[in-house]
Amino acid sequence: MKIKVLPDIVVNQISAGEVVERPSSVVRELVENALDAGAADIAVILEQGGHSLIRIVDNGCGMERDDALLALERHATSKISAADDLLNIHTLGFRGEALPSIAAVAKLRIRTRIAEHELGTEVVVHGGAIKAVQPVACTLGTEIEVRSLFFNTPARRKFLKSPRNEELRVRQWLTGTALAHPQVRLRLTLDGREVLNLPRRATSAERAEGLFRGAMVPFEESDAYGTAACGVAAHPSQASADAGSFLILVNGRVVSDRLILKAVKEGFSSTLKDREFPIGYISLSVTPAKVDVNVHPQKSEVRFADPQSIFLFVRGALLRATAELRAPLSYAQVARYPAATPPETAAYVQAPGVQAAFDYRPAASAPALSLQIAEGGGGAAEFEATPKPSFRFSDLRYIGQALQCYLFCEYDGSLYVVDMHAAHERYNYNLIRNSSRAQSVSSQQLLMPMSVDVGQAGIDRFRENREIFVAYGFMIEESSETALLIRAIPALLVGHDAAGVVRESVALEEGDVAGGALSEYVDRVAARIACHASVRSGKNLCAEEAYALFAALDRTEFSAACPHGRPIIVRFGESDIERWFGRDR
């Protein structure tokens, strides 16, 4: 078989298979071109999910006749001129492959005009062949119409996803793009019905206010190396099973990046399990020389020069953001979003503070809870985030305990319900993690060592992570090929199921993504210790103990959710209660 050079039309169809995978790929390429053209208003119109029609209309700078024709040539672009430019890319589109690739597999029409000309140019291309080039009356900017995508490559058309699937992809991508470019108005029309109309906003934060619902906390970070991030994060109880529920933007483009998503999840500490993903977004700005946006044909993935530093930067930003999640969820938010189940991942934050510990003492009438606080010294460190001025647990007026687990309180015309186990669990978790890092965990020697059968796999896991158990105050040794002997336990676990904590901890599996596996494992162990050490349903708290718990929550971070992501406190407004009893009618 002889080697031969393929005709241009075949080359363009092959290229289209890489650049134009589906209708949403076309939308992405054309909208990015519109943004690079300085458009302040972009409309996206789809029919049948883009299968039959994709129309992008923008008010950008437009093109002259010769440029409109040249844009249909492969590797023709105004974005770069030399190989070195690939290391310093500031635009969204740059390859010069989008238009010729689309034109090769669709019926394409371009209408475009620049400000200096009264008439614009219309170019019609079918399957890569130019059918017409003529002057036309049109508005300033560019309108590109793509009909019958893959009409000449039926094998490709046969494997297109459903129109509904494409509509969802386009809507999600446009939402992310709107966050990255808040100064641009974006509209989406599906089969004649406008479903998205995002007016211009001054900042991404203002844009986010109109896109996200629920309990959100904003964040903004930067370092000395030119890396910056901003975004919002939702309460973990609003977690989704869809990884796309947290949008990732890098230098203004929406990307899919496992490393960043992993760092974001770790930033939620132990509150998200393996198949749960947070709601929100992060817009990451990185020096162009430190990120390669040319690693994917559709520019949907990037490669970082120093991925570990990016991982730590993002994780730190989210850790500090979630530490500020203090405000109660409203009844409406809890009714809409189900609580998260116990997680499989976690992470850690450390900052100076005070040493504190809960100590259980049996009383004649009922189990009691007392709070001991020691100032300063080299003791355990709590994260002291500044509480939101609009809410403090200490401002609550304690009414009483119901159903042996819930603390009812009143403040500022609203009823508040606190899950005492979840609240104490969050406090203990923070205390345990910070104490372990400060190497100040208190241990209790056992008079009678406890034997725990963990199996061979458990023994192997214990050997791999022996130092973690030591850091948390355990003294454990192997007594056989399948059993461990516990000689000392953390003081917080005295009177609790310490053997169960060990059994559960050695059964945990470590994460498989570099940079966070050890941190995940450490925090998952801490979450189990905290759970077993916390006050349980059925214990009656007096008012002094309830107020001591509230004061402790004001001093600790992430006090809106327990280590498993469940809400700690829920607010019922007066209007909510009046509606129950029909008083709003």
Residue 483 class from Cβ within 10 Å (0-12 exposed, 13-18 middle, 19+ buried)?
middle
Residue 564 belongs to a domain: yes
Question: Contact 75/16 with Cβ under 8 angstroms?
Answer: no
Residue 580 belongs to a domain: no
Residue 127's CATH number: 3.30.565.10
Residue 389's CATH number: 3.30.1370.100
Q: Residues 280, 239: one domain?
A: yes
Q: What is the mean pLDDT of residues 57-61?
A: 96
Q: Residues 412, 278: one domain?
A: no
Among 145, 173, 198, the domain-final residue is 198
Residue 128 belongs to a domain: yes
More confident residue, 553 or 85: 553
Residue 372 belongs to a domain: yes
Which letter does DSSP use for residue 215 in this model?
S
Among 297, 322, 347, the domain-final residue is 322
Q: Residues 194, 244: one domain?
A: no
Q: Residues 170, 258: one domain?
A: no
Q: Residues 530, 472: one domain?
A: yes
Q: Residues 544, 411: one domain?
A: yes
pLDDT at 335 over 90: no
Residue 159 class from Cβ within 10 Å (0-12 exposed, 13-18 middle, 19+ buried)?
exposed
Least confident of 95-104, 438-447, 528-537: 95-104
Q: Residues 189, 316: one domain?
A: no
Q: What is the mean pLDDT of residues 457-466?
A: 91
Q: Residues 70, 167: one domain?
A: yes
| Reported pTM | 0.74
Q: Residues 150, 216: one domain?
A: no
Q: Say which residues have a Cβ less than 8 Å from residue 205's Cβ, sequence separation at least 6.
A: 218, 230, 232
Q: What is the pLDDT of residue 346?
A: 27
Q: What is the dihedral of CA 344, 452, 526, 346, to 10 degrees?
A: -20
Among 303, 322, 341, the domain-final residue is 322
Q: Residues 258, 146: one domain?
A: no
Tell me the sheet residues that pair with 54. 46, 146
Over the stretch 296-328, which tens digit does the pLDDT of each residue have?
555 567 888 888 999 999 999 999 999 988 889
Q: Say which residues have a Cβ less than 8 Å from residue 270's Cβ, sequence separation at least 6.
A: 343, 345, 346, 347, 429, 523, 524, 526, 527, 563, 564
Q: What is the pLDDT of residue 260?
A: 93
- Provide the domain limits for residue 304: 212-322
Residue 204 belongs to a domain: no
Q: Residues 72, 175: one domain?
A: yes
412 φ/ψ sector (left φ>0, alpha ψ -120 to 50, else beta): left
Question: Contact 215/329 with Cβ under 8 angstroms?
Answer: yes
Residue 262's CATH number: 3.30.230.10
Residue 585 belongs to a domain: no
Q: Residues 477, 424: one domain?
A: yes
pLDDT at 26 over 90: yes
> In the numeric block, which tokens belong to residue 61?
């700078």
Tally of domains within the chain: 3
Residue 52 pLDDT level (bands cut at 50, 70, 90) = very high
- Nearest C-alpha neighbor of 254 from the set 145, 345, 329, 175: 175
Over the stretch 218-250, which tens digit does the pLDDT of each residue have?
999 999 888 999 999 999 988 888 888 899 999
Residue 223 belongs to a domain: yes
Residue 243 belongs to a domain: yes
Q: What is the pLDDT of residue 76?
A: 53
More confident residue, 285 or 383: 285
